[in-house]
Amino acid sequence: MGQKGELIFMGTGTSQGVPVIGCDCDVCISKDPKDKRSRSSVHFSFSDAKIQVDTGPDFRSQMLRENISGVDAVFFTHEHQDHIAGLDDVRPMIFRTKKAMPIYGQERVINRIKRAFHYAFEENPYPGAPKFDINYINDSNLVVINGIEVLPISVMHGQLPILGYRIGDTAYITDVKTVPNTSLQLLKGLKTLVFDALHDYPHQSHCTLDEAIEWAEIIGAESTYFIHLSHHMGTHEATTRRLPENMHIAYDGLRLPVSTL
């Protein structure tokens, strides 16, 4: 039986965040709260399942801002620091539940996490270290978390194969340059697509806004929300005016309905 839930945009900025330290461009000095972008991640909230995708450097403050107290599982898109650096901040949830935190990712990604958080994987870890339940996945593994199906979607971050995720009528795809045809088939019938759009000038491993719009049109979701914006993109207000009617710029704290019905 399907469930209705909520997609929470924890962060919508690129690796440096917005504003960028020491920058006085129009975006970085903007007074619009929608131009304050922490590092990109999302949280899927259902009555029986709280699913976090990526834990960047701002994870703790994002959880506190959104008043989210628990996570049942963490899924990782890839191993770059702006997507894993906050993982240690799941410790309060581990201490409270007295259970290891399930984490899911490609073997390469999990191995990077083991190096970054080596103190959690030692033979005799420090008593306050986090405990993780490791799960290796790839694009053929459907994962079920408390009745919610999580489908990994293979995409290319330049030359690096990474994962997006589809839950019900919603898909989250960050840090993408190209989407294989096999993955396009898995993205049919979406109500909501969340998609990477870095800025306007070419990048080897991220989409420009124009490229992101082209991919969104190919995928054909009812609505598309762009994330992982850098300060070079322009303000939220100015960039919004450039988009087709069914496409939007996401912002930190935005909440959208999700359905697995």
Indicate whether 260 pLDDT > 90.
Answer: yes
Residue 261 banded pLDDT, cuts 50, 70, 90: confident
Indicate whether 46 pLDDT > 70.
Answer: yes
Nearest to 209 by CA among 223, 195, 222, 219: 195
CATH class of 4-254: alpha beta
Q: Where exactly are the structural domains of the chain?
A: 4-254
Inter-residue contact 81 to 96 (CB < 8 Å): no
Inter-residue contact 87 to 110 (CB < 8 Å): no
Nearest to 147 by CA among 167, 124, 126, 170: 167
Instruction: Specify the amino acid at residue 158.
Output: G
What is the rounded distance in angstroms from the CA atom of residue 218 to the CA atom of residue 64? 36
What is the rounded distance in angstroms from the CA atom of residue 154 to the CA atom of residue 248? 23
Q: State how far the alpha carbon of 105 is from the alpha carbons of 83, 89, 111, 142, 209, in Å.
A: 12, 18, 9, 12, 27
Residue reference for tokens 């399930």? 102
Which pLDDT tens digit goes with each residue over 61-117? 999 999 999 999 999 999 999 999 999 999 999 999 999 999 999 999 999 999 999
Which pLDDT tens digit goes with each residue over 119-165? 999 998 888 999 999 999 998 899 999 999 999 999 999 999 999 99
Inter-residue contact 50 to 68 (CB < 8 Å): yes
Torsion of CA 203, 158, 77, 126, to 10 degrees: -90
Which pLDDT tens digit goes with each residue over 35-44? 999 999 999 9
Tokens of residue 127, six digits: 């008593």
- What is the structure's pLDDT at 140? 83
Q: Which of 31-40, 122-131, 182-191, 236-245 has the lowest mean pLDDT?
A: 122-131
Report percent pLDDT > 70 for the chain: 100
Inter-residue contact 109 to 79 (CB < 8 Å): yes
Indicate whether 174 pLDDT > 80.
Answer: yes
Task: Give the global pTM.
Answer: 0.97
Residues 6 or more apart in contact with residue 127 via CB below 8 angstroms: none
What is the rounded distance in angstroms from the CA atom of residue 67 to the CA atom of residue 230? 26
- What is the structure's pLDDT at 2? 87
Chain-centre distance of CA 89, in angstroms? Answer: 16
DSSP bridge pairs for 165: 152, 172
- How high is the mean pLDDT of the chain? 97
What is the secondary structure of 134-150 as a DSSP string? EEE--TT--EEETTEEE
Chain-centre distance of CA 106, in angstroms? Answer: 15
3-state class of 16 per DSSP?
A: coil
Residue 1 banded pLDDT, cuts 50, 70, 90: low
